[in-house]
Amino acid sequence: MADSNGSVPGSPAKPPPSPSPLRTSKLVKNKLRVLVTGGAGFVGSHLVDRLMKAGHSVIVVDNYFTGTKSNLKQWLNHPDFELIRHDVVDPLLVEVDQIYHLACPASPIFYKHNPVKTIKTNVMGTLNMLGLAKRVGARILLTSTSEVYGDPLVHPQTEEYWGNVNPIGVRSCYDEGKRVAETLMFDYHRQHGVEIRIARIFNTYGPRMNIDDGRVVSNFVAQALRGEEMTVQLPGTQTRSFCYVSDLVDGLIRLMEGENTGPINIGNPNEFTMLELAETVKQVVSPSASFKTVPNTPDDPKQRKPDITKAKNLLGWEPKVLLKDGLPLMAKDFAERLDISYEPSTAAK
């Protein structure tokens, strides 16, 4: 029987491939070369900020499907930063010590737009990054998702739960794609000794999300700021647990630096219905906001809440930012980009 990290007793993983001698050189010991795929996106750009501030040398590859160069504008002229327009479906050869593999559209609207491309990104993109990790001896972290649990029959979701996923539905390109990506990670680990880390991320929000990204938090905040009705998809009682982006990035870095392969849930266990989310946005972003109900999309999971016991025990991580404190930070960023004046309401101050 496999343990919680997926290792099978009696068949230990091979030792990892040798990293470049530069990794142990005195000159570069504390300065890692880090590749971030999808680094021009929402989560990736915040991760790049943290890695650059820690003094590492960072290479971003991105095809700009949902990300933008402007998310990285603060680093574009920095000597330790490099941005490459590249699609991870094609192989990539670079010398790096760590790979944060994020490249993949995350909003359901975008990942359903071209489902064949989404699954190619998840499968071929992850194969290419694992091939690179094997070749150069890099440690690789995959940003997997709570969508691997599908419409969960176990609540809250622990990493041991195998999920309830429709293999042929409109979300399958993403959730089955990520499940195959996790499989590839463990097969490269067991067969080739690649050092892997897997984070299962739960719905994350914050500044720099695409304003018309289509995810629920960005939709509600943008709608409230624009004076439009928030679109609560029916029934409105479905739940999500929302994590602020700085908490997520902290969890990803701890996972990469730690000794556990994962998969480890990274998310905020505070659970909200979509109606409660709309009410919170009204309270802390715009007291005049209102909502309307609209039809939902197929296979929408009814509930999501992470069990974060593993993250607490193995990474010493738990989220710090409450939804009522994170939303105004996001609203400020959205208001600036929309050129709308915004004063956080009293409840948020």
Ligand X SMILES: NC(=O)c1ccc[n+]([C@@H]2O[C@H](COP(=O)([O-])OP(=O)(O)OC[C@H]3O[C@@H](n4cnc5c(N)ncnc54)[C@H](O)[C@@H]3O)[C@@H](O)[C@H]2O)c1
Judged by phi (left if over 0) then psi (alpha if -120 to 50, else beta), residue 206 lies in: left
Angle between helices 216-226 and 274-284 (to 10 degrees): 40
Residue 64 binding result from ligand UGA, ligand X, none, given CB thresholds of 5 to 8 Å by partner type: ligand X
Got the DSSP string for 96-136? -SEEEE--S--SHHHHHHSHHHHHHHHHHHHHHHHHHHHHH
Nearer to ligand UGA, 137 or 152 (CB): 152
CB neighbours (10 Å) of residue 10? 5
> Would you count residue 146 as binding ligand UGA (CB under 6 A)?
yes
73 binds ligand X (CB under 6 A): no
On the CB side of 45, CA atoms within 13 Å amount to: 21
Can the peptide bond before residue 287 be classed as cis, meaning omega within 30 degrees of 0?
A: no
With 0-12 / 13-18 / 19 or more C-beta atoms within 10 angstroms meaning exposed / middle / buried, residue 287 is: exposed
Q: Which is nearer to ligand UGA, 80 or 318 (CB)?
A: 318
CB of 136 to ligand UGA, least distance (A): 28
Is residue 174 annotated as a catalytic residue, yes or no?
Answer: yes
Alpha-carbon distance of 238 to 216, in angstroms, equals 12
CB of 92 to ligand UGA, least distance (A): 23
The reply to whether 125 sits near ligand X by the rule CB under 6 A is yes
Q: Total binding residues for ligand UGA by CB under 6 A?
A: 21
Q: 114, 166, 296, 309: which one contacts ligand UGA (CB under 6 A)?
A: 296
Residue 199: closest CA among 116, 53, 311 = 311
Give me 30's structure tokens.
Answer: 């504390």
Number of residues that bind ligand X (CB under 6 A): 28
Q: State the minimum distance, in angstroms, from the CB of residue 260 to ligand UGA.
A: 20
DSSP 215: -
The answer to the question of residue 121 lying near ligand X (CB under 6 A) is yes
Q: How far is the CB of 20 from ligand X (least distance, A)?
A: 24
Structure tokens at 37: 């795929």
CA dist 96 and 87 (Å) reads 18
Which of 92, 84, 116, 97 minimizes the C-alpha distance to 34?
A: 97
The distance of closest approach from Cβ of residue 44 to ligand X in the complex, given in angstroms and rounded to an integer, is: 5
Choice from 203, 265, 268, 280 touching ligand UGA (CB under 6 A) = 203
Cα 184 from Cα 131, distance rounded (Å): 10
Which entry of 100, 149, 174, 188 is annotated as an active-site residue? Answer: 174
138/278 with CB nearer ligand UGA: 278
Whole-number minimum distance, CB 1 to ligand X, in Å? 28
- Please report whether residue 305 would count as binding ligand UGA according to CB under 6 A: no
The Cα 259–Cα 257 span in angstroms is 7
Q: Does 42 bind ligand X (CB under 6 A)?
A: yes
Query: According to CB under 6 A, which residues from 173 to 212 bind ligand X?
Result: 201, 203-204
Q: Position of tokens 């709570």?
A: 146
Given the rule CB under 6 A, which residues bind ligand X? 37-38, 40-44, 62-67, 87-89, 102-106, 121, 125, 143, 145, 201, 203-204
Contact positions vs ligand UGA (CB under 6 A): 106-108, 145-147, 201-203, 215-216, 219, 231-233, 238, 240, 274, 296, 300, 304
Residues annotated as catalytic (active site), given as ranges: 174
